[in-house]
Amino acid sequence: MIRYLSVRLLVALFTLFVISILVAAGLHLGLSDQAAKITVSNASDVEKARLVADLGLEPSFAGQYVAWFKDLLKGNLGYSLASGLPVSLILFAQLPYTLGLTLTALVLVFVLALASGYLAALYPRSWFDRGLSGLFSMLYSTPSFLIASFLIIVLAYQVDLFPIRGARTPGEPFAWSDTLHHAVLPVLAIVLATIGSFFRIIRAEVVEILSSDFVRAARARGLTETSIFFHHILPSAAGPLLSWTGLNFATLISGAFVIEYVFAWPGIGAQAISSALMYDYPMLMGIIVISGVFVVIGSLLAELLKTLINPRMRQEHV
């Protein structure tokens, strides 16, 4: 198992290395283009040299990459072209909002998908199974911004239950209850946008597991359905679900970014879309680095949890 995890760690490190090269290349090309647009004006040679120094440009990409990587190891992601503030300062202030929103939604999706997928698999081809499958297929095929817009129209404008912008009420002191109230619609939008794929995986796995020999043997020994679920079905079904989560973690993050932008949630997702619209290359590249790190960490954690939960996988990787 240690060898298996070591290989996965090496793959993760290599992935981060590739991400760093791609981000440095994008930053070099973007800033060079930005400098070229500015320096075509009647600026003096001194002003042009100062601009190049301020942007941190190097004559060659190799020199640019080495300088950028040294700054990255120090936690320096450069300065925003839009605000002039350090990118790391802005993103680390916004990161807790994104993590809180995404992790809360992911936990809810896991719980709801496990419960609904298990119940649907217990009664395959029943009206309950077909109804849930149809509902979640519709949600799966609906773009996340449409789901968010629907929630805004129904629960914010028509019913007036929840606020639709930001993470706190303007002019009011910070309060956890206020932030949680603002987070309801974004979390609900992420859950509805992602639960369809989780449900399909859980249902398919549980249908197969229920017809397996070890479940029949467990029932023959007189074990209760609750015991069979937690000791046999859940560990076996969690493996494919965690594998899918690890492989599609980037897709889940990008979906959350869109929803953050729709609800003006002060996370790095809304910042990413705003930076792309303003051609703020240092900010955008910093977001890609941080997102890449969390995608790799999420994939690693999914692999680790999958191995720890399922005893058969632990034996395979011993």
Residue 34 confidence (pLDDT): 55
Do 118 and 155 reside in the same domain of the chain?
yes
210 within a domain of the structure (yes/no):
yes
**Of residues 301, 309, 315, the one with CA closest to residue 5:** 301
86 within a domain of the structure (yes/no):
no
175 within a domain of the structure (yes/no):
yes
82 within a domain of the structure (yes/no):
no
Residue type, 289: V
How many alpha carbons lie under 13 Å from residue 242 in its C-beta half-sphere? 20
4-18 mean pLDDT: 77
Do 130 and 23 reside in the same domain of the chain?
no
262 within a domain of the structure (yes/no):
yes
The better pLDDT of the pair 48, 196 is held by 196
The C-alpha atoms of residue 4 and residue 82 are separated, in whole angstroms, by 44
Number of domains forming the structure of the chain = 2
- Which pair of structure tokens corresponds to residue 189? 């939008």
Do 55 and 149 reside in the same domain of the chain?
no
- What confidence tens digit (pLDDT) does each residue in 70-102 have? 878 888 888 887 888 888 899 989 989 988 998
Query: Residue 262 pLDDT more than 50?
Result: yes
80 within a domain of the structure (yes/no):
no
Residue 304: which pLDDT band, with cuts at 50, 70 and 90? Answer: confident
> Domain residues for 103?
99-311
Please, are residues 174 and 168 in contact by the beta-carbon 8 Å criterion? yes
31-55 mean pLDDT: 54
Residue 152: which pLDDT band, with cuts at 50, 70 and 90? Answer: very high
**Of residues 225, 7, 242, 19, the one with CA closest to residue 110:** 242
Do 32 and 109 reside in the same domain of the chain?
no
Please, are residues 270 and 102 in contact by the beta-carbon 8 Å criterion? no
Query: Residue 103 pLDDT more than 90?
Result: no
CATH code of the domain in which 290 resides: 1.10.3720.10
Q: Which of 29-43, 97-111, 118-132, 270-284 has the lowest mean pLDDT?
A: 29-43
Mean pLDDT computed over every residue of the chain: 80
User: What's the distance, Cα to Cα, between the start and end of the chain in Å?
Assistant: 4
